[in-house]
Structure 1
Amino acid sequence: MRTPLVIIGALLLPVALTLSAAVSAVLLAGHGACPGPSRPHVPGARILAMSVVGHPDGMGGRALITGVPAFCDVTIVLTHPPLRDRVRIEVWLPRSTWNGRFQATGGGAFAAGEFERALVPAVRRGYAAASTDAGVPGRPGGPPVWALRRDRTVNEGLLANFAYRSVHDMSRIGKQVVAGFYGRPPAYSYFTGCSTGGRQGLIEAQRYPGDFDGILAAAPAADWNRLTLAQFWPQVVMNEAGVYPTACEFAAFNRAAIAACDGDDGRRDGIIGRPDACRFDPGQLVGTSVRCHGRTIRISRADADIVRRIWAGPTTRAGKRLWYGLPRGASFSWLAGTTKPLLGARRGAPLPVAADWIRDFLLRQPHADVSTIGYAEFERLFDESQARYDAVIGSDNPDLSAFRAAGGKMITWHGLADPVIFPQGTVDYRRRVESAMGGAAATDRFYRVFLAPGVGHCSGGSGPVPTDPLAALVDWVEHGRAPDTLPAATGAHPNISGDLCRYPQQAAADRHCH
């Protein structure tokens, strides 16, 4: 979900060469020639077009991307009859620096792939790499303009592309293109992604366990049909209260929580190391004053109650928990955003992904006003999202026996101050996998989770961020060395460092995992 994201660089106007099934060709571009691999075969799909473009060192005309070795870009467009979709897949192939591996990459928010943003670092490291748009136009952070047909019914075919089909197609096509280009298949195949990409990684292990030798599924947006509603919960709480605190007021509660719970893990480092154990009561701030934008604001009981409900997470009106809430210490700005127009009162500013899921897939009205949704309607929408979409995009099946049998290895890491995807959802999934797969020790043989105190969504925050989790995955897959820790570092607070511990272990005051 990573919202908003900036795509690095600008696309060249493609110099395309359409290839027939039986003819290979050579296209001269820049200073090199790229041999055209044979057209791949994808069961259930039909190839519409295939082109090859060569890029010399430095990416040629892509001026904002530098330091990339010479590579060939194979672009394939396919469709899934009778859907009439147009799925674009790009496979970047290093000319002389290939490390023998294939890396498929994931997307963010409603975008199934990130192309340059993901492919540039992969090619720099010698991987043949691929990305796909799943046939759903848009960009990370943009609305799902593909969601509804003209008759306002949900486009189930494109939703299936986005939910699970596209990465499987990319895996099959990517490996065929690699084998045709280099004359041999990749020795190992990997998938990497965070957020939506993390969800794609989990669903690959669940639905297509033989696609990849290793999967790096960071901060996964699993339980999508519940998660997106839970992301909207802070707006519902404010709608019901009729109170919309400013970001400055919300920040005061986080500062107080950090001050109260910083030492719970035995270290005083400005980070809540165990948000689930933090018992700070927001009611303690009632009546205190904070300075916001040159004026003094007194914290009200309504403010404290809003924060308490946001931290607790969504419930039914009867008090049954529906999903997890924002962890203490995570920024409120993404999910509990508010705005003040020039005329009128302050109002909510929901996370676009959450609001768009409700508008397009539940209400089926792209321009619906969601600012009036209260507890009763929220509960109804939550139930509908579960009933209609769990089988398509739930992405939370804990039975990974086929993935284990195929020899796959998977690593998930998740920031404990993630303001968009709740880390307790990842912990919940790991616990359910343990129950299904024979316990913690049996699960650790093929699936390991690492939690990052103080880290935000996929990166950032105050805590140490994993420096190279893919290297740890490669070492596990290719050499059998399962990681007990992930090296991590931070630029925000240079005095804070330390490796991430394998779940359920946590770093103590001595910085060792216990």
Structure 2
Amino acid sequence: MKTHLQTLALLGTTALAGPALAQSDDACAALSGIDLPSTQIRTASPQGSGTLPPDPMSAMTGGSPRPVEVGAHCLVEGKIEDRTGADGNQYGIRFQLRMPEDWNGRFLFQGGGGTDGFIAPAIGAIPSTGSTATPALARGYAVVSMDGGHNGMNLDFTADQQARLDLAYASIGKVTGTAKSLIRAYYEGAPDQSYFMGCSNGGREAMMAAQRFPLEFDGVVVGNPGFHLSRAAVGAVWDVEQLMPIAPEGQLHAALTPEDLNLVSDEVLARCDALDGLEDGVVAAYGQCDFDAQALRGQLPDNKLDALLAIMGGAKDSAGDPVYTGWPWDPGIGSDGWRAWKLGTAERPAMHQTLSVPSTGAVFMTPPQQVPADPDFGDLARAVADVGGYFDADETFLTTYAARGGKMVIFQGAADPIFSARDITRWYDEATEDTGDDFARLFVVPGMTHCGGGPAFEDFDPLTLLEDWHESGEAPEQMPASAPSMPGREMPVCAYPATAEYTGGDAASIDSFACVTPAR
């Protein structure tokens, strides 16, 4: 029996041959009648050049929070495998594909965020909220986005087996095959290169694209990935458990005040800012920052410091063994982006409370359930292992992908409060040992929180890095970046394990820094 992808590939080379004027308005409208397996085309309409509104889900995806200018293109929207689920709800994978008149021959799959359930505008914006780089659609890419197989940013889908599988990885293959077939029909030719780009859950999906579909993609941009999502979820439960005992009247946001975290941030800067040769509010030498938080004893109340130490040390079982990794000390701990996940505000509860903890029980435990009160973290880690086995994008053996020339550009905020920078560096070390060091590069962004934000050089362009690497064969050793919070300044974000070191001259110039690998 042919797979969904194999069937679509055959259609793409035979029955889906497009009309002579493949990029005409008529050719776009004709796609509404195309016959694809288990797929309904609901919209196929030409779009003039103009302005697309900001991505309403940019906080989840890292997509552009600004309007985007795009050229004329063909918009196709549809649904794959429309069905009634085991729970009686309606399911299927909704997608949006935008194909520009001025096509550059490339295809980009745009990742989602959170637990998906929405379709972000398929524009291929760089998934760091601070990035001003040109989105992929405006560069001439055909771009597809999807909802992961369920409708609505809620956890109502988790009782359905196929919905779990689609969110975990299966939808990536199905949408890829459908999008490539539509591209072949419209342009009368297959893409020259196929890329995936996303942040958060979209970063996990990008890693899944390389790990589960190594024949389909030539490169992926991976941002702050939830690649070890089942254990990161357990880590979020741990954080809440440490904070609630010190939260006045159960108000999590008040457990650590902005003044508390600013004090911590200032102490980290005092100890580590100068390690890169320049005191500028950025701990660029994050790998050398051996911060002793006991220096805060007497500055913070003991109960607050003890809770913070437990959080930063990472979740542990009753024997003291880690179940999720710890976190680097970074001045970004004082930023709004860090607080948004772990603490929240009086107006907006912590993302851990509204997303992470509920998802731990509903998505990763079998059957879906609530996380027990006062959990045993060893038991909880075991309870999420089965789903984590197919949901986590933590495979390190990517030889097929690498042998075909597949590349991976990863960026990660050092101050990410939900997915630890230490965890992705661990994966990177293991993956380069198991697969080789010529397929992936990791860029840890000092000060950056989750998919942008923080006192960070968060305006960068990893897609151009991937394009250049694919074309030249030369791996990038640095990613030029600027800082919205520090106007006029530029600095390189260096390929791990190297970090930026100030060499003298104009501190605002990228030329005043060199990438140096610290002694281990």
What TM-score, normalized to structure 2? 0.79
Which amino acid in 2 is paired with 1:85? Y
Work out the CA distance in 2 between the residues paired with 1:174 and 1:350: 34
Match of 1:426 among 424, 427, 446: 424
Partner SS, residue 177 of structure 2: helix
Query: Any conservation in 1 of the 2:52–2:69 contact (CA below 8 Å)?
Result: no
Partner SS, residue 161 of structure 1: helix
Match of 2:39 among 42, 47, 59: 47
Work out the CA distance in 2 between the residues paired with 1:303 and 1:86: 46
What TM-score, normalized to structure 1? 0.80
Aligned to 2:48: 56
Displacement of 1:114: 4.5
Work out the CA distance in 2 between the residues paired with 1:340 and 1:213: 45
Query: Any conservation in 1 of the 2:29–2:45 contact (CA below 8 Å)?
Result: no
Aligned to 2:74: 72
Aligned to 1:483: 476
Which amino acid in 1 is paired with 2:91? D
Aligned to 2:96: 90
Match of 1:402 among 394, 397, 400: 400
Query: Any conservation in 2 of the 1:222–1:394 contact (CA below 8 Å)?
Result: yes
Q: Does 1:315 align with 2:321?
A: no
Alignment of 1:100-139 (within 5 A): 100-111=105-116, 114-116=119-121, 118-119=123-124, 121-138=135-152
Larger deviation, residues 269-278 vs 408-417: 269-278
Work out the CA distance in 2 between the residues paired with 1:469 and 1:62: 20
Larger deviation, residues 220-229 vs 327-336: 327-336
Query: Any conservation in 1 of the 2:230–2:364 contact (CA below 8 Å)?
Result: no
Query: Any conservation in 2 of the 1:257–1:328 contact (CA below 8 Å)?
Result: yes
Displacement of 1:181: 0.2
Question: Which runs of 5 or more residues in structure 2 are unaligned?
Answer: 1-14, 20-24, 56-65, 126-134, 249-254, 504-512
Partner SS, residue 340 of structure 2: coil
CA 146–305 in structure 1, closer or farther in 2 if over 3 Å, else same: same
Larger deviation, residues 62-71 vs 412-421: 62-71
Alignment of 1:460-479 (within 5 A): 460-479=453-472
Partner SS, residue 488 of structure 1: strand
Aligned to 1:385: 384
Work out the CA distance in 2 between the residues paired with 1:257 and 1:326: 13
CA deviations over 1:416-461 (Å, ceiling 9, x no partner): 1222221111101101112212xxxx32x21111111122222222
CA 250–317 in structure 1, closer or farther in 2 if over 3 Å, else same: farther
Query: Any conservation in 2 of the 1:466–1:500 contact (CA below 8 Å)?
Result: no
Alignment of 1:174-189 (within 5 A): 174-189=179-194
Question: Which runs of 5 or more residues in structure 1 are unaligned?
Answer: 1-20, 26-30, 149-154, 289-298, 342-346
Match of 1:455 among 448, 452, 456: 448
Aligned to 2:357: 355
Which amino acid in 1 is paired with 2:147? D
- The structure that is helix-richer by fraction is 2
Alignment of 1:149-228 (within 5 A): 155-228=160-233
Q: Give the share of equivalent positions with the same residue, in percent.
A: 26
Which amino acid in 2 is paired with 1:463? A
Aligned to 2:265: 254
Displacement of 1:39: 3.0
Alignment of 1:13-32 (within 5 A): none
Aligned length: 454
CA 431–363 in structure 1, closer or farther in 2 if over 3 Å, else same: closer
CA deviations over 1:99-148 (Å, ceiling 9, x no partner): 1111111011111664216457332221111011122112xxx4322123
Aligned to 1:436: 434
Displacement of 1:59: 5.6
Work out the CA distance in 1 between the residues paired with 2:42 and 2:199: 28
Partner SS, residue 85 of structure 1: strand
Displacement of 1:184: 1.2
Work out the CA distance in 1 between the residues paired with 2:34 and 2:364: 39
Which amino acid in 2 is paired with 1:423? A
Larger deviation, residues 114-123 vs 207-216: 114-123
Work out the CA distance in 1 between the residues paired with 2:344 and 2:459: 32
CA 192–338 in structure 1, closer or farther in 2 if over 3 Å, else same: closer
Work out the CA distance in 2 between the residues paired with 1:88 and 1:228: 26
CA 159–280 in structure 1, closer or farther in 2 if over 3 Å, else same: same
Aligned to 1:269: 280
Displacement of 1:217: 1.1
